[in-house]
Structure 1
Amino acid sequence: MQTAGPRRDNRRFTRSIALAVALTTLVTSGLANAASAICSAHSPAHRVALVELYSSEGCNSCPPADNWLSQWKNSGATQSIVPLALHVDYWNSLGWTDRFSQHRFTERQQALTDLAGGHTIYTPEIFVSGRELRSWSQRDSFESRIGKVVAEPAQANVALELKAQQTPGAFNVVAQFTSKLADPAGQLEAYVAVYENSLSSQVGAGENSGVTLHHERVVRQWIGPVPLVAGNAQIRRDVRVQDAAADANLNAPADRFGVVAFVENAASGDVLQVAELAACH
C-alpha cells in the first residue's frame, strides 16, 4: 500500500505535463478560446501585391468593382494578392451617406494620385502596390501587373500577431516592420488596416437607391503612418470595430475580421511589402 501513493503522484505529474504541452500547442497555433487565442503571420520572401479599391455606396459603377475585389477575399494563402476596400466620403453629399466612408481614405487616394503626377480622383479606382491600374477589369492586364510585383524579391519584412478578445471585433495587434534597404531620407512608413467582411447595406437614396450592396475587405480602422527608424518600426494597438458587437448575433463567419500591415515609400507611394492575418478565435 505504501508504493501506491508515489505511483499515483507520478501519473498525476505525467498527466499535468501532457496537459501543459497540449495547452501550449493550442495557444501557439491559434486554437485556444477567444479570450486568449493568438495567431501570427509573416510576409514571404517575394513581394506581395496590395490591391486598394477606392469605392462608395453612392456610386452606381462601384458595385461591380466591389464584387470583383471580393474574389480575393481569402487570397492570403496564395501570398500574392492582399485586397482592401477603402470607402471615400466625397459621394456623401449626393443623396446617400456611406457608413463605411472615411475622409482619410479620400486623402490617401488624392495623395497616391498626386505622387503619380495625376490630378483627378474617381470611383471605382484601383491601385496595385501604390500605383494606379486603370485597366484592372481586363484580366490579362491585372494578372500582368500582379505577376510583375510578385516576381520581385521583398524589400521589407512584415510580421503580424493578433490576440483575440471576447468582444466581437476586438483584438490586440502587434505588427513588426523591418526594411532591407537603407533609408537615409526617412521615407519609409508603416501602416496597419483593420478590415471587415460580410457587410451589407440597403441603400435608400442616391444612385444605388433600392439596391442591397454587399462588401468584403472593408477597411474599418486605419493606423499610421509610423516612420521606420533605422530600418525598423512597431505598431502595437488594441483595436475594436465600434459597431461589431451589435451584429454579434448574426452568426458572423470566422473570418469576418482581419488585419493588413504594410510598408510604403512615402516619396513614391510604392508599397514594398504586405502581410495579412484573419482574426483568430
Structure 2
Amino acid sequence: MTARRFSIASLGALLSLTLAGPGVADSLRLNPKAVVELFTSQGCSSCPPADALLTSLAERDDVVALAYHVDYWDYIGWEDTFGDKGFSDRQRGYAKSWGSSRIFTPQMVINGAEGVVGSKRDDVHDAIASAQLPLNVSLLAHNGMLKLVVPADAALDDASIWLVRYLDRADVVIEKGENAGKSMVYTQVVIDRQIVGVWESETGAEVKLPLEQFDISSGGGMAILIQPERNGLPGPILGAAAYSF
C-alpha cells in the first residue's frame, strides 16, 4: 500500500469560510458520537452480516464507519483484496491495550475503547448508544482545501491526527475460501491511513490539506481521527469528522 504525502500548514486563525460548491456541506460529517471500526475479512464466513451492518451504520449522521480488512485469514484459501498487515496490527494493538491477546473477525471497535462482536446487532447498537467523543472537530472545504480545527482541552492527553482514506463501495467476487462463490459488496473500505499532524491538549490544532492530492475519482472519502497512543498502543478516540468526495 503506497502512502501519500500531504502538504500540511498551520492556520493563523479560524477563518470565516463559505463552503465551495453545491452539496459540499452535505458531504461533511462533523462531531459524531461514535467511530465504528470493523475488522473483517473476505475469507471469514461469519463476516457478511457484520459487513452489512456497517453499511447501515454508515448512513447515520452520528457515526463514522470504517472497515479494516485484516490479512490473518488469507492462509485458509482466499487472499483478501483489501487485506493489510497494518490493519491486523491495529486490531492487535487494541486487544493488547485492553489486556487481551485474542483477536477475531468480525469485531467492531467503538471509539477505540470497546470491542464487540460485529455481527451482534443489539450489542453494537447498545455500544453506540452510550458512546461519546469529548472533542469537537471543525472540518471545512473551501477553494480546494480541507481545513481542520480542533480546540484545546487541557484535561485530555496529546494525540495524533490520523487521516484515514476509504472507498465507499467495492464489489468483489470471492472465488475460494469460506465465502467461495459469493459476490460481495463492501463499503467504507479503508485503503490508507497516516498521521498528518499532532493535536496538543494545551493549544489545540489547526491544519489544512489540499484536496487535489486525493484521487476523488474513485469515490469514498476520508475520516479524521484524533487518537492518542499509550505505551505505543492505540488509546480511545477523542474526536472525529469525515468528508465524502
Shorter chain as denominator, the TM-score bin is 0.7 to 0.9
Residue 109 of structure 1: how far off its partner (Å): 0.6
Equivalent residue, structure 2, for 1:74 = 59
Matched, 1:271 2:237: yes
Does the CA contact (< 8 Å) of 1:157 and 1:273 recur in 2? yes
Change (3 A) 1:163 1:100: farther
Gaps of 5+ in 1: 1-26, 165-170, 249-255
**SS in structure 2 at match of 1:100:** coil
The structure that has the greater radius of gyration is 1
**AA of the residue aligned to 1:278:** S
Match of 1:177 in 2: 150
Q: How many residues matched?
A: 222
Answering whether residue 204 of structure 2 is matched by residue 232 of structure 1, we say yes
1:182 offset after TM fit, Å? Answer: 4.0
CA contact 2:53–2:121 (8 Å) conserved in 1: no
**What fraction of aligned residue pairs are identical, expressed as a percent?**
26
Q: What aligned pairs does 1:94-243 form with structure 2 within 5 A after superposition?
A: 94-150=76-132, 154-162=133-141, 173-183=146-156, 187-224=158-195, 226-229=197-200, 230-233=202-205, 234=207, 236=209, 239-240=213-214
Please, which runs of 5 or more residues in structure 2 have no aligned partner?
A: 1-17
Partner of 1:63: 48
Q: Which residue of 2 aligns with 1:89?
A: 71
| Deviating more after overlay: 171-180 vs 220-229 | 171-180
The answer as to 2:19 corresponding to 1:28 is yes
Quote the offset at 1:118 in angstroms. Answer: 0.8
User: 8 Å contact 2:160–2:227 — kept in the other structure?
Assistant: yes
Cα deviation code 1:185-204 (max 9, x no counterpart): x6422111111122111111
Q: Which amino acid aligns with 1:59?
A: C
The alignment's C-alpha RMSD in Å is: 2.9
Change beyond 3 A, Cα 1:221–1:161: farther
- Post-superposition Cα deviations, 1:39-64, rounded to whole Å, max 9, x if no partner, equal 874734xx620001001111111111
Contact 1:155-1:181 within 8 A present in 2 as well:
no
User: Once the 2 structures are TM-superposed, how far is the Cα of residue 212 of structure 1 from its aligned partner?
Assistant: 0.9
Q: Give the Cα separation in 2 of the matches to 1:107 and 1:172.
A: 32
Provide Cα deviations, 1:26-48, integer angstroms capped at 9, x if missing partner: x725328xxxx79874734xx62
Which amino acid is 1:175 matched to? Answer: L
8 Å CA contact 1:127, 1:133 repeated in 2: yes
* TM-score normalised over the length of structure 2: 0.77
Q: Which structure shows the higher helix fraction?
A: 1
- Distance (whole Å) between structure 1 residues aligned to residue 92 and residue 46 of structure 2: 19
SS of structure 2 residue aligned to 1:133:
strand
